[in-house]
């Protein structure tokens, strides 16, 4: 095992020593995965994204990006679905009630990059782009008030959603660690407007609460919103 690890390490180092960034004539496309980083409220990683790039020239590339997540913030540890069971008695016996939660979120980005000369291995660039997105939230109760068993509530639900539009300016780099294989980092200044749909709370077919449609806009200035990237150019 030790010899195998030494061999793999030597092979990786050798590839890095001889790796060079390809020209657009040789490889016009790249596909990469992004681990998104947000430091607005402390450092945290958000749900991953996929990005496809097309190099029209050595310096200019167009890009298409798709992201997804469990909720509107795309935080990884917020699940896309949850289920809870509540019991009539404190000892876990008797009749039961349930709460089921479903979340979804996606975003699509279009943009362009301008790559500087850089070095044989590194390709620094500036970027600009726009993005659209949407999400939904649904919560269903059966024999539950959302926190405990309730025989009086046989059916209830909460529904809501949102849509978004934003723009971003950024800077980053590709660093080729092997032929056509690169790693990189990108940091962005972004502004996003979110339109929240009306939220409805229905209990046994009747409206129990209603939160009207509302909107907000936030701009990340002074907080890094970026991504750690690994990709393949072909």
Pairing of strands 122-142, 156-178: antiparallel
Q: Can you tell me whether residue 15 is helix, strand or coil?
A: helix
pLDDT at 229: 92
Q: How many residues does the chain have?
A: 234
Q: What are phi and psi of 17, to 5 degrees?
A: -65, -35
Q: Where are the domains of the chain?
A: 2-233
What is the arithmetic mean of pLDDT over 63-78? 66
pLDDT band at 38 (very low <50, low <70, confident <90, very high): low
Q: The pTM is what?
A: 0.78
pLDDT at 72: 42
More confident residue, 108 or 38: 108
Q: Which residues contact 48 (CB under 8 A, 6 or more apart)?
A: 33, 34, 35, 36, 67
Closest by CA to 49, choosing from 84, 81, 76, is: 76
CATH of 2-233, picked from 2.60.40.1120, 2.40.160.20, 2.60.40.10, 1.20.120.330, is 2.40.160.20
More confident residue, 218 or 160: 160
Q: What are phi and psi of 215, to 5 degrees?
A: -140, 160
pLDDT at 4: 46
Q: What are phi and psi of 183, to 5 degrees?
A: -125, 160
pLDDT at 26 over 80: yes
What is the arithmetic mean of pLDDT over 126-136? 94
**DSSP letter (8 states) at residue 58:** S
Q: Can you tell me whether residue 26 is helix, strand or coil?
A: coil
Q: How far apart are CA 168 and CA 191, in angstroms?
A: 6
Letter string b/e over residues 180-201, b meaning 16 or more CB atoms within 10 A of that residue's CB: bebebebebbbebebebbebeb
More confident residue, 1 or 18: 18
Pairing of strands 181-196, 156-178: antiparallel
pLDDT band at 96 (very low <50, low <70, confident <90, very high): very high
pLDDT at 122 over 60: yes
pLDDT band at 173 (very low <50, low <70, confident <90, very high): very high
Q: Which residues contact 90 (CB under 8 A, 6 or more apart)?
A: none
Q: Are 172 and 185 in contact, with CB atoms under 8 Å apart?
A: yes
More confident residue, 115 or 190: 115
Q: pLDDT tens digits for 39-56? A: 555 555 566 789 999 999
pLDDT at 14 over 90: no
């Amino acid at each position: 095992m030790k010899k195998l690890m030494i061999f793999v390490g030597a092979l990786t180092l050798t590839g890095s020593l001889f790796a060079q960034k390809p020209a657009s004539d040789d490889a016009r496309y790249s596909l990469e995965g992004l681990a998104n980083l947000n430091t607005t409220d402390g450092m945290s990683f958000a749900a991953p994204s996929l990005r496809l790039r097309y190099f029209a020239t050595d310096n200019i590339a167009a890009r298409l990006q798709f992201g997804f997540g469990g909720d509107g913030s795309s935080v990884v540890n917020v699940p896309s679905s949850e289920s809870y069971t509540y019991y009539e008695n404190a000892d876990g016996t008797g009749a039961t009630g349930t709460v089921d939660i479903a979340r979804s979120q996606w975003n699509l980005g279009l943009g362009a990059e301008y790559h500087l000369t850089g070095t044989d291995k590194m390709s620094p660039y500036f970027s600009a782009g726009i993005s659209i997105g949407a999400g939904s939230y649904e919560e269903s109760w059966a024999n539950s008030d959302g926190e405990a068993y309730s025989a009086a509530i046989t059916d209830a639900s909460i529904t809501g959603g949102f849509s978004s539009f934003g723009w971003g300016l950024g800077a980053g780099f590709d660093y080729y660690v092997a032929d056509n294989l690169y790693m990189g980092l990108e940091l962005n200044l972004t502004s996003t407007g979110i339109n929240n749909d009306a939220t409805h709370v229905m209990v046994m077919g009747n409206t129990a609460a209603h939160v009207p449609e509302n909107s907000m806009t936030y701009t990340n200035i002074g907080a890094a919103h970026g991504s750690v990237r690994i990709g393949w150019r072909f």
